[in-house]
Structures are given as structure tokens and as C-alpha cells.
Amino acid sequence: MSKKGVSQYLNTSGSWYPNVASNVIAEAGLNYNTTYKIQSQTNQTMLNLSLGGGIFNTLFNGWQVDVSRSDIHWNSNLKLEVKRTSNGTGSIFSSISGGTIDQQVLTSNSSFFNGVGNFSNISVQYQISGFSVLIPVDTYSTTVIFTLIDN
């Protein structure tokens, strides 16, 4: 007896290269305002996802998207957050929930949002905070990882 493989996919598009403006600190000796943050566009990353595995699985099986980051060169004082800013377009009987409030992206997986059915063009926004004059001037980089889990 052979089993057919079930294909699922999560496709992303978009990248973000923010810069801290030099005029944010108005006077020598001062630090950044504690509320200072940089936000990406509301559709900085677009997600498309599909469970595959036949019509029943596609229409009725639940899934969740986890989020994490893999640091290339990152300062632990910087706080990267993510949120879902649209529902995208879903298939018939589809639903989507969660992820609409800023959530810190950690180096370990955490649940981001969940739903049922296939979706395209789910938009995601990023935010970075935690800036300080005590953080060395450098180029910091991390990769955000989205993982689709078939429930």
C-alpha cells in the first residue's frame, strides 16, 4: 500500500531595510525617546498559504502560522514585533483569526495566527523599538521565519 504525499506551502514576498534617522536625537547627551519606534508599511510582507491534500483538507482542516526569527547580527536590546494587517483573500468556507496585535518575534517559534482554508495576500507589518545611544552603531540583521502547521 502506498501513501500519497500531502503538499502544503507558505509563500512570502517582501523585505525591509529600515534606517534610524540622524535627527531623532535633538541634543548631544540625550537618548532616544522611550516610545521611539520604526514601523514598516502595513503590507511589507505578503503571505500566501495552502494546505493541499484534497478538497476536504483544503476547505475544512485548520492550520496555524508560527513566527520566529533567525539572527544574523542582532542586538538583544532591539525588539522586533509583527502583526497581521489584513485577512487577505480566502477560499470558500475559509476563516482567519489572531495576529492583529503587535507581537514580539523571538528566536523560538510562537503562534502568530490561525485559520481554515487557503489564503492569498495576507499582509504583515513589522515594528522595531528599543533604540538606545548605548547600542553600538552597526548594521543589524535578522530573518523572520513563518511556519505553516496543519492542525
pLDDT (tens digit, 9 = 90+) per residue, 50-83? 887 777 766 668 899 999 999 999 999 999 999 9
The predicted structure's pLDDT at residue 5: 44
Q: Reduced to 3 DSSP states, what percent helix, strand and coil does the chain have, rounded to the nearest 5?
A: 5, 45, 50
Reported confidence tier of residue 99, pLDDT bands at 50, 70, 90: very high
Mean pLDDT of 35-41: 93
Mean pLDDT of 17-29: 79
What are the grid coordinates assigned to 144, written together?
523572520
Please list, residue by residue across 11-23, b when 16 or more beta carbons sit within 10 angstroms of its beta carbon and e when fewer do.
eeeeeeeeeeeee
Mean pLDDT of 18-28: 78
Distance between CA 146 and CA 117 in Å, rounded?
17
Mean pLDDT of 81-98: 94
3-class secondary-structure state, position 57: helix
The pTM of the full predicted model, rounded to 2 decimals, is 0.88
Reported confidence tier of residue 104, pLDDT bands at 50, 70, 90: very high
Classify residue 74 by burial, with Cβ atoms within 10 Å: 0-12, 13-18, 19+: middle
Lowest mean pLDDT among 10-19, 38-47, 83-92: 10-19
